[in-house]
Chain A
């Protein structure tokens, strides 16, 4: 594969150099589209492209085959420029069956490429996809505006593996590799990374490894030798900052952030968690880190997940519970306990569409108000939100820092979009991360008298005492406690004092977080787009494009949702318009309006899907024009 591009072109093929390309791999849940997509992604990443991915799959593990409900998609946006979103529209769609085409055609650019597995377009599949009897999109001219490559992937895979000795089922499973081979050829990228991956994955099953590699190569050769393709693409490496990179998903970054936070705080890590989509990958990942002294407890339910973490925190661990919306609801009472105990705890909510079971595999930002207010009694908690897959790392480290330094449970919001999505990450060196060593109290803070577990320091923070500490035995609990002594108290004035102290302690965190500043644009002007969480990439792209087009637009993005940065009200009031896009019905916009009495305008999307850049650009222009 060391031949020149011209030699490789071989036949009459046009080479298109593109800044960025969006490919959508789409097929049945069992077609291996997630693997195909992630292999293409890894290869693009190794070759120096910036990228962003968006896996999208049904909540059924194997939804009915061939149906629209069963379509599993993997979207990758890669380019030679900075990429902040998985892309609004597709340049290329791989449709393994008729249902996949039906789902993904609407977002394919006019003139875009469709690679069709014709075996997925027989009468049965057309029927399952809901095409009327006798209608076949491959034949009725409905695809005339696109470049369509029809390949009988199933047949070619079978031919390729006829003598492999594998059964039909194994052969069928290899067909995604054929498609991947075609795409590698089409984008002129090496197969080497995927071949290494296959050899590693199937180290114990060499016959399966060989079958996959042969099919992959067959796909490449098919592109190279058949003359049906008349277009190839070349995407140059991106000009990313120098350094060493890896690809990372948000859930993986969250897990690594927690391991790092444990080291930075000098505490052992304890995770109490119950499996729930789309947060479970954090539990999976942390379960592997035995050599980092990470203890994971798969609890009997969500409540036990947080309660075991409360117990571990009480015993002196950096304690964490991870979940998604329904689990947050179940954990609410225990969060109140942790708040009144005033012990450190990190609660990660990988948000999904709600209410109730809602859209388990789709994304949403609709738990902000729950994080703010979703507990009984006056129970404010600090909240941080991650902006991108890699940003989950910094955000969860920040959550742990606040928890340990301010003796409080902290809610860390991510969501399904960035939890499952991935991007290249210029990971930090351990030495460059700032430690926040936990301090345990071992001496009586009230010499001559009884130890005062609720005596506060200048941050209004009480001491953390590990059971096992001689001379400081004391009891804590969920009943209201007397200021200082921590003894049970039902005194009316004391309750008010304690309620205010707990709130003031959280407010005071604002003294220990960075001020807000624009991510793009000036610190005053016509309009500011205020975002939080996973809308970052789309807002950043939209705002930067508009600035490049000459508009007066700025973007401020919040990591700290409670308390807000101290200057936020002042900063926002320097703009004529404030637009707050959210994947909910307008939650941050209510908080901003209530707190600062500013006429912020919301822009909602609750489709289980992230904003597109063009949606945001149109909305911004609508306001300022």
Chain B
């Protein structure tokens, strides 16, 4: 750890200080390039010395991320990054730990570690690059692929319901749930910053384009022509408004969301649902704007921080138990531990 005096004389790092010497080898048009750039862009603002940054990835195209960061990092095995990161953070809570995962890595082979990390709430940032396809194995449907997806392993369409990652994370008691996308750099930077600031497991789903196997899966949320109708950007304390001319809003009728036209008579902005990141019920409803039609109406896909809750982190509670016991009883000597309470002597 650097001292304050040292920090004062250390020049502020810039984005390229976080780029390793490894040549970046993703396909042209891959959304991972943008995510890498946004992470490298926001890191200098966090003021973390790069030796205190640890990136842990599993397996998948995005998992190569670790090699491209000039920080400490481990490119591990498929699905297990969450468990490895738990050990890193548990052993050394001073490190800033980031998990880089994908829809297959986090939600299929690593599903168990994913849900338990959310529940346990280690203070790590968990980025899921969701491209709704298996890229590294060349094009099979993933647990987030839409039902009916035609892929190499589902030539007649997949018969599976997809996971909605944000809903899953909330159900698994995540203390921070957000969604962003590769093609909106400013929004992604904002969400990454929020994830870093949050103390606890920050789950960030990042819609990421796979130019080769699932090109354009999320373009509707970033293309100028469709973005305003299809995407809903939520901000704390602001009403839920979308539409080409910001003419639509969402209000709550009890716990049922309803799309209203702000131009209609009798409808006012004051009637709209005000986004509240601390409200878990609202977060659940917001996250469910996914594949559910309310009254036959398709809702816009939300982006932003859906939920943020302050609760103790695992590593702090783990350390507190140790500190409390040492404060109460003092450190136990190894000799005392070896002898235990009951001994006898042979003379």
Question: A and B: real partners?
Answer: yes
Pairwise interchain contact A246-B346, C-beta atoms closer than 8 A? no
Known: A42-B342, A243-B345, A245-B345. A475 touches B67 (CB 8 A): yes
| B342–A246 touching, CB < 8 Å | yes
Q: Which residues of B contact A78 (CB under 8 A)?
A: none
Cα of A513 to Cα of B275 in the assembled complex, Å: 65
Q: Could you tell me the distance between the alpha carbons of A487 and B20 in the complex, rounded to whole angstroms? A: 11
- Nearest-Cβ distance from residue A241 to partner chain B, whole angstroms: 7
A residues in contact with B67, CB < 8 Å: 475, 477, 488
**Count of chain B residues with Cβ under 8 Å from any Cβ of A?**
64
Contact check: which of A237, A243, A467, A469 meets B88 at CB < 8 Å?
Answer: A467
Give the nearest-CB partner of A470 in chain B. Answer: B51
Q: Within 8 Å of chain A (Cβ to Cβ): is B244?
A: no
A471 touches B51 (CB 8 A): yes
A window 253-298: CB within 8 A of B = 256, 259-260, 263, 268, 270, 272, 289-295, 297
Check A241–B346 contact: CB distance below 8 A: yes
In chain B, positions 324-347 with a C-beta closer than 8 Å to chain A are 324-326, 329-335, 337-340, 342-347
Is A316 in the interface zone, CB < 8 Å from B? yes
Q: A244-B339, A295-B90, A468-B94 are known contacts. Are A314 and B74 too (CB-CB below 8 A)?
A: yes
A317 close to chain B: CB less than 8 A: yes
Closest Cβ–Cβ distance, residue B152 to chain A (whole Å):
24
**Which of B20, B116, B346 sits near A300, CB closer than 8 Å?**
B116
Pair count A-B, CB < 8 A: 208
Asked whether A307 and B342 contact (CB < 8 A) given A312-B88, A473-B51, A475-B73, the answer is no
Say how far B254's CB is from chain A's closest CB, in angstroms.
36
Contact with B along A304-324 (1 / 0, CB 8 A): 100111111111110100000
Contact yes or no, B76 A478, CB < 8 A: yes
A304 interface neighbour in B70, B75, B113, B333, Cβ under 8 Å: B113
Closest B residue to A301 using CB positions: B112
Choice from A42, A245, A467 contacting B54 with Cβ under 8 Å: A467
Whether A128 is near chain B, meaning CB under 8 Å from some CB there, is: no
Consensus secondary structure, chain A interface? mixed
Determine the chain B residues whose CB is within 8 A of the CB of A336 once the complex forms. Answer: 77
**Do B74 and A341 have beta carbons less than 8 Å apart?**
yes
A314–B88 touching, CB < 8 Å = yes
Which residues of B from 8 to 25 have beta carbons under 8 Å from A?
A: 20-22
Residue A303 CB within 8 A of the other chain: yes
Q: Is A377 an interface residue (CB 8 A)?
A: no
List of A residues within 8 angstroms of B85 by Cβ? 311
A476 vs B321: C-alpha distance when bound (angstroms):
32
B140 in contact (CB, < 8 A): no
Q: Are A311 and B86 in contact (CB under 8 A)?
A: yes
Provided the pairs A245-B345, A317-B91, A473-B70 are in contact, do residues A291 and B339 lie with their beta carbons within 8 angstroms? Answer: no
Closest to B18 in A: A473
The answer, yes or no, to whether B209 is at the interface (CB within 8 Å) is no
B290 on the interface (CB 8 Å rule)?
Answer: no
Contacts of B88 in A (CB 8 A): 311-312, 314-315, 467
Tell me whether B337 and A289 are in contact (CB under 8 A): yes
Contact of A475 among B51, B72, B330, B345 (CB under 8 A): B72
B87 within 8 A of A: yes
Q: Give complex CA distance A1, B335 in Å.
A: 35
- In the complex, chain B residues 296-347 whose Cβ is within 8 Å of any chain A Cβ: 318, 321-322, 324-326, 329-335, 337-340, 342-347
Show the binding face of A for B, using Cβ within 8 Å. Answer: 42, 45-46, 48, 237, 240-247, 256, 259-260, 263, 268, 270, 272, 289-295, 297, 299-301, 303-304, 307-317, 319, 333-334, 336-337, 341, 427-430, 450, 466-479, 487-488
Question: Measuring CB to CB, which residues of chain B are less than 8 angstroms from any residue of chain A?
Answer: 1-2, 20-22, 49-52, 54, 56, 59, 66-67, 69-77, 80, 82-92, 94-95, 112-113, 115-116, 318, 321-322, 324-326, 329-335, 337-340, 342-347
For the A-B complex with A290-B325, A311-B89 known, give 8 more contacts whose Cβ atoms are closer than 8 Å: A242-B347, A263-B334, A289-B332, A292-B334, A293-B326, A467-B52, A467-B92, A488-B67
Q: Can you list 25 contacts pairing A with B, beta carbon distance less than 8 Å? A: A246-B340, A270-B87, A272-B83, A290-B324, A291-B331, A297-B318, A299-B116, A304-B86, A304-B112, A307-B83, A307-B86, A307-B87, A311-B84, A311-B89, A312-B88, A314-B88, A315-B92, A341-B74, A430-B338, A467-B88, A470-B2, A470-B51, A471-B51, A474-B72, A475-B72
